[in-house]
Chains A and B, each alone.
Chain A
C-alpha cells in the first residue's frame, strides 16, 4: 500500500496525527495512558482546553523541568506533571463525578478490539496477568464522546475491528469513533458501523481486507 513506503510515518504517528483533529478549543478532555498521551502537546496548544487526570487534576500542564518534579503532583499514568494556571485539584469521587456525570467532553483511549456495535475491549487478555481496568470502564460509560485509537491489526495480522469482541469488554456500545492508521469509523449506536474516512493513500478495498467487522462506507467517502 502506498502509505507504507520507507519514508512514510509509522502507523502510530498517522493515528495520532488524525486523532489530533478530534480536539477542539474549550473542551475538557481525558487522554488515556499510552498512545493517547501523545496528543497532550496539541491539546495544550488549544485555547480553553483543560486536560483531566482521573487521579484528581483538571488542567494538566507540561512535564516539569528537571529538579522541579513534585511527588505530590502526578498524572493517571503516575508520571510527574505540572498544573497549568487555572487548574484544580479534587478527590477521586469528585473526579469520577466529572466523568460519570458527563462533564468530560471527550475521552480518547487506546483499544485492543472494537466491535461493529461499538463495544470496546482494552483491559484484559485471558490467561495473562490481569492488571485491572483502572478508570477505563468509567470513562467509556461516562464521557460525552468516546474516541478509540488503535492499530487496525494485531502483530499477527488479525483484525482488531471485529464483528464481536473476543476479549472481555470494557464497555458495550460505548465507542463513538474509531481511528486506525487505515480509516475512521463512526458508531451511530443503532448497531451499525460507518466508514467515514480513508487514511491518505489507503483504498476502500485495503480497509475491507483488514477489517473483520461489517461496515457501510458513507456516501461521498474521501480521504482526510
Chain B
C-alpha cells in the first residue's frame, strides 16, 4: 500500500497507541523530537509505555512531558541526565531504565528495521553492559552480541515530507529519526512542511516513504533549545 498515509490530526495519528505499547522515539536531547505526537500522546493519556529513545527530554518538554504525566514505565536510553522528574521516578522505582551505549542503541534500531536479529560489537566489552551477553572472538578481539530493538510504533520528526512518507531532515535534527522510522512497525512521521508528491528531489530523500505509515504536518513548532551557546562578535 502506498497511498492514504496522510492523517488529519495528531489525535487520529496516535489513536491506536494503547497502554503498555512500545514506542521508538527520534530526537537527540530536544533536537528533532516529535513534539506534536508527544503532546497528542500526553492528551490521550495511555500509560505504562515502554519508550526507546536516546534521551528522555527535560522536565517540561519532549518526552519529559510523558514522564511528568506518569505515562512511562520503562525507558531504554543512552543518557537520561537533565531531567529531575526522571531522577525522582527512577530512584523511587516508578520508572525502569535500561541504559544502552549510544552507538549500540542506534545500530539496534537500524538492525530491527533491516531484518538483522543481532550483531557483534566491541562496545561495552568488559563493562557492566556486557553482563549476561554472549561474547565471541573475531580475529583476536572480543565482541558482544547485541540484539535488534524494534517497537510497535515509532514517532519521528522531519523537516519536510510528502504524502508517500518520504522524509528530509534538517541539520543535526536528523540524529535517531531515520533509525526510529525503520524500527517501528507503525511509523508516525510529523513534518514541518508537507509538500506534494514529486516536490522532494529523490536524490535528497533521507528516509524513503516505505518506512513511514502515517504522516502529517505540525504547526507552531517550539523547537526548544536545551543549551544556548553563542560567541561574541569580533570587533
Please tell me if the beta carbons of A65 and B233 are within 8 angstroms of each other in the complex. Answer: yes
| Residues of chain A lying within 8 A (CB to CB) of residue B121 | 100, 141
Does A85 belong to the interface (CB within 8 Å)? Answer: no
Interface stretch among A12-20, A91-99, A215-223? A91-99
| Residues of chain A lying within 8 A (CB to CB) of residue B136 | none
Instruction: Considering the complex, give the chain A residue whose CB is closest to the CB of B178.
Output: A91
Whether A72 touches B173, Cβ cut-off 8 Å, given contacts A79-B227, A80-B230, is yes
Please tell me if the beta carbons of A63 and B230 are within 8 angstroms of each other in the complex. Answer: yes
Give A80 to B174 CA distance when docked, in angstroms. 15
Selected from A62, A96, A132, the residue in CB contact (under 8 A) with B103 is A96
Instruction: Considering the complex, give the chain A residue whose CB is closest to the CB of B159.
Output: A72
Q: Digit string of A55-89 for contact with B (CB within 8 Å is 1, else 0)?
A: 11100001111101111111101111101000001
Selected from A65, A79, A81, A138, the residue in CB contact (under 8 A) with B102 is A138
Please tell me if the beta carbons of A134 and B79 are within 8 angstroms of each other in the complex. Answer: yes
Does B31 belong to the interface (CB within 8 Å)? Answer: yes
Q: Digit string of A16-39 for contact with B (CB within 8 Å is 1, else 0)?
A: 000000000000000000000000
B interface residues (Cβ-Cβ under 8 A, vs A): 28-32, 54, 77-82, 87, 90-91, 97, 99, 101-107, 109-110, 121-129, 159, 169-179, 206, 223-231, 233
Please tell me if the beta carbons of A135 and B174 are within 8 angstroms of each other in the complex. Answer: no
Does A131 belong to the interface (CB within 8 Å)? Answer: yes
Summed over the interface, the residue pairs from A and B with CB atoms below 8 Å come to a total of 183
Give A95 to B103 CA distance when docked, in angstroms. 8
Instruction: Considering the complex, give the chain A residue whose CB is closest to the CB of B80.
Output: A132
A93 CB → nearest B CB, Å: 4
The 6 closest A-B pairs by CB, nearest first: A96-B103, A172-B126, A138-B103, A131-B81, A132-B79, A92-B106
Interface stretch among A147-155, A163-171, A204-212? A163-171
| Residues of chain A lying within 8 A (CB to CB) of residue B177 | 91
Does A194 belong to the interface (CB within 8 Å)? Answer: no
Selected from B90, B106, B174, the residue in CB contact (under 8 A) with A96 is B106
B225 CB → nearest A CB, Å: 5
